[in-house]
Amino acid sequence: MRVGVVGATGLVGTEMLRLLEERDFPVTELRAFASARSEGRALPFAGGTVTCEVLRDGCFDGLDLVVIDVDDPLALEWAPRAVAAGATVVDNSAAFRSDPDVPVVVAEVNPDDARDAPKGIIACPNCTTMVLLTALAPLHRAATIRRMVVASYQAVSGAGQPGLRELASQWTAGAGREEALRRAGTVPDLLGAGEVWSRPIAGNVIPQAGSVKEAGYTSEEWKLVHESRKILHAPDLRATATCVRVPVYVGHSLAANVEFERPLGRDEAAALLAVAPGVVLVDDGHGAPTALEGAGIDPVLVGRLREDQSQPNTLDLWVTGDNLRKGAALNAVQLAELLVQD
């Protein structure tokens, strides 16, 4: 396939190039796009390099697949242009997720939806929803989720390179700092503190990820509600969330309280999770996988599986996953692999 990656220098785009190579995706030609700041930059790919281009008229000509890893306004503008040039688009931004003619797909959960993309655009959900639903879908299939109450613990890399830089510049030590600086690709103090978040993120917890929207819930919280309903084909699913930013470089974690239509005990849930694709149940007696353990690997890790003692048919669980891999780039490559199979 002739593949274009838009935003190839960003956190997700960099991971995307790495995964295309790692998974032996059949790339016959790769074109990498980023801003004018990166024009001409050589990005490592498949033992050689690919030179970064800027977006311009005709830049997608001849491509079969374009993966979009830039912010929403750029995706809104350039995704339809990629489709018009004959490519299928896999989009990691939020630009098209609420469009009824654009499927939102988690590869392990609703892959068949990718085959019904009338606009030629397939969206990946946001990284928090992706991690959560990879774990919850097998339980939903077995016992139908009636309501879920979720708290997220979201890494700073969810806010892109500026988020990584901000934490790294505020912290002078800590696990993962060197890797974060390498990924951020710049001197940590360049942006200074406080550009992304108005309060320090190092050594802090900010109980508001995303911007505040309807009824006081944030954009991240509403995404989790609406995208979960769309992916699970459950328009009446009751869901509520509190999305929190924590000083973790990579890896989103969630604590979920999930009520089902029928009794689903811990043992049955554990058996379902043990064979679920893309999930590893960490049930070794500790059962408490941390964000650092989930970062850099493909599956999401589930632990702390408990039967809620306060009401029937309800489980509490913890899930953590790499927001740049399963949360974005890996899912996009998995969707591209589905397209190749077709």
Ligand X SMILES: NC(=O)c1ccc[n+]([C@@H]2O[C@H](COP(=O)([O-])OP(=O)(O)OC[C@H]3O[C@@H](n4cnc5c(N)ncnc54)[C@H](OP(=O)(O)O)[C@@H]3O)[C@@H](O)[C@H]2O)c1
State the catalytic residues: 127, 252
Structure tokens belonging to residue 101: 């003619």
Segment (H or E) for 319: strand 314-321
Residues at the site binding ligand X, with contacts judged by CB under 6 A? 7-13, 33-35, 37-38, 55, 69-71, 74, 92-93, 126-127, 157-158, 160-161, 323-324, 327-328
In angstroms, rounded to a whole number, what is the distance separating the alpha carbons of residues 202 and 169? 9
Q: Are 193 and 166 in contact (CB under 8 A)?
A: yes
How far apart are CB 260 and ligand X at their closest, in Å? 28
Query: Using CA atoms, how far apart are residues 168 and 78, in angstroms rounded to an integer?
Result: 32
Q: Which is nearer to ligand X, 212 or 274 (CB)?
A: 212
Contact 118, 96 (CB under 8 A): no
In whole angstroms, give the CA distance from residue 200 to residue 156.
Answer: 12
Q: In Å, what is the CA distance from 322 to each residue of 127, 293, 332?
A: 8, 9, 14
DSSP annotation string for 124-173: PPPHHHHHHHHHHHHHHHHH-EEEEEEEEEE-GGGGHHHHHHHHHHH-SS
* Vertex 102 angle, CA 99 and 108, to 5°: 125
Rounded least distance, CB 60 to ligand X, Å: 13
Is 63 or 269 the residue whose CB approaches ligand X more closely?
63
**What one-character DSSP code corresponds to residue 104?**
B
Closest distance of CB 272 from ligand X, Å: 26
Q: Which residue of the chain is nearest ligand X when measured via CB?
A: 10
Nearest distance from C-beta of residue 172 to ligand X, angstroms: 22
Which residues does residue 29 pair with via DSSP β-bridges, in sequence order?
2
**Which of residues 35 and 144 has its CB atom nearest to ligand X in the complex?**
35
CA distances from 124 to 89, 141, 184, 236, 330 (A): 11, 20, 23, 21, 10
245 forms beta bridges with 154, 206
CB of 136: closest distance to ligand X in angstroms?
18
Nearest CB to ligand X, comparing residues 4 and 13 = 13
- Nearest-angstrom CA–CA distance, 18 and 316: 35
Residue with smaller CB distance to ligand X, 139 or 330: 330
Which residue, 32 or 145, is less far from ligand X as judged by CB?
A: 32
Min separation Cβ 94 and ligand X, Å: 6
